[in-house]
């Protein structure tokens, strides 16, 4: 958690500032909000958030941040996982039906494509669009958000190995993350598909199992196995498969990057 006068957290769905210099141009737009004592920050509209008596923070009347969480719409976020009970199972039939209902109409697709084309032609600076995907989202499946950066990297987490041909055909130069731990394809299969055609950005260690639950030696061993494969013969940017959680001990993070550096050398 950041101090009020230090670097401030950023979030695409809260409008928080990344650091204190970001408010210099338009300070009148930003107002203090501490997320019920959890996260000192500046936000554009404090009225967007309501704190319920049970400690839950509601954003825009729909998104929820639990009493001990630090992000929205992720039950248990920031808390120790309860491994004594089975997690709630996803209703795949309902997810399929909701996905079909949320697919954009051809007119919407053409409008989005035209908007992106005009934005790309307007500037040489990087532009990031989020949320332009079909809104699928469940663990072990496709990413909830697509992220399209108009300087030609593409972001989509989840089991998207079977979609890589489409990513390549669309002309992207890089893919992030490389979540080979989702689905049945191995990191070697990901590399074989992308070799010479697509820069892989991530995938250096499994952040769902090896990093949180493995020993330092397990992390070092996996990095030594995975990175030489992903980096061989074409572009590669090293990082983990996904975000590093606050609960990860520093010695594991140090081992992760130290081993990657040694492998690269």
pLDDT, tens digit, for every residue of 37-47? 888 888 888 99
Q: Using CA atoms, how far apart are residues 122 and 36, in angstroms rounded to an integer?
A: 41
**Lowest pLDDT segment from 24-28, 202-206, 208-212, 232-236:** 24-28
Q: List, in sequence order, every residue forming a beta bridge with 205; answer none if it has no partner.
A: none
CA angle 207, 210, 213 (to 5 degrees): 100
pLDDT: which is higher, 145 or 78: 78
Per-residue confidence band for 218, with pLDDT thresholds at 50, 70 and 90: very high
Which of these ranges, 99-108, 115-124, 163-172, 223-232, has the smallest mean pLDDT? 115-124
Q: How confident is the model at residue 82 (pLDDT cuts 50, 70, 90)?
A: low
CA-angle at 47, arms to 43 and 50, nearest 5°: 105
The candidate with the shortest Cα–Cα distance to 222, out of 238, 205, 239, 243, is 205
**DSSP secondary structure code for residue 100 in this structure:** H
Work out whether strand 57-59 and strand 236-237 pair parallel, antiparallel, or are unpaired: unpaired
In Å, what is the CA distance from 154 to each residue of 113, 147, 216?
15, 6, 31
Beta strand spans in 161-222 (E): 174-176, 199-201
The mean pLDDT of 33-37, rounded to a whole number, is 89
**3-state SS, residue 238:** coil
Alpha carbon distance 102, 97 (integer Å):
9
Burial tier of 142 (Cβ tally within 10 Å: 0-12, 13-18, 19+): buried
pTM of the model: 0.52
Quote the pLDDT of residue 6: 32
Instruction: Strand 153-155: give its sheet, edge to edge.
Output: 128-130, 147-149, 153-155, 174-176, 199-201, 236-237
Q: Are strands 174-176 and 128-130 parallel, antiparallel or unpaired?
A: unpaired
How many whole angstroms separate alpha carbon 251 and alpha carbon 253?
A: 6
CB contact set of 181 (below 8 Å; sequence gap of 6+): 206, 208, 209, 241
d(CA 56, CA 8): 21
Higher pLDDT, 74 or 57: 57
**For 129-145, how does the pLDDT look when each residue is reduced to its tens digit (9 = 90+)?**
555 544 444 444 444 44
How far is C-alpha 257 from the geometric centre of its chain's CA atoms?
19
* Mean of pLDDT values over 49-71: 85
Q: What per-residue confidence (pLDDT) applies to 80?
A: 56
The predicted structure's pLDDT at residue 52: 92
Q: Is 205 in contact with 238 (CB distance < 8 Å)?
A: no
For 153, the 3-state DSSP assignment is: strand
């Amino acid at each position: 958690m950041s101090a009020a006068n230090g670097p401030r957290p950023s979030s695409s769905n809260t409008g928080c500032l990344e650091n204190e210099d970001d408010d210099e141009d338009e300070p009148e737009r930003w107002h203090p909000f501490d997320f019920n004592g959890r996260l000192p920050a500046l936000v554009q509209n404090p009225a967007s958030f309501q704190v319920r008596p049970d400690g839950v923070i509601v954003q825009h009347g729909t998104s929820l941040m639990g009493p001990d969480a630090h992000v929205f719409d992720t039950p248990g976020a920031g808390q120790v996982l309860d491994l004594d009970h089975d997690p709630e199972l996803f209703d795949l039939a309902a997810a399929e039906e909701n996905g079909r209902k949320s697919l954009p109409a051809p007119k919407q697709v053409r409008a989005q494509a035209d908007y992106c084309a005009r934005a790309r032609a307007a500037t040489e600076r990087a532009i990031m669009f989020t949320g332009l995907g079909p809104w699928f989202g469940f663990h072990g499946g496709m990413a909830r958000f697509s992220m399209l950066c108009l300087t030609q990297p593409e972001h989509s987490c989840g089991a998207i190995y079977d979609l890589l041909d489409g990513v390549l055909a669309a002309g992207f130069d890089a893919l992030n993350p490389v979540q080979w731990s989702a689905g049945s394809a191995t990191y070697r299969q990901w590399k074989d598909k992308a070799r010479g055609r697509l820069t892989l950005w991530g995938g250096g260690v499994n952040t769902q199992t090896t990093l949180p639950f493995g020993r330092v030696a397990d992390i070092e061993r996996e990095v030594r196995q995975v990175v030489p494969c992903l980096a061989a013969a074409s572009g590669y940017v090293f990082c983990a498969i996904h975000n590093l959680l606050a609960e990860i001990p520093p010695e594991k993070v140090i081992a992760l990057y130290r081993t990657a550096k040694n492998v690269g050398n």
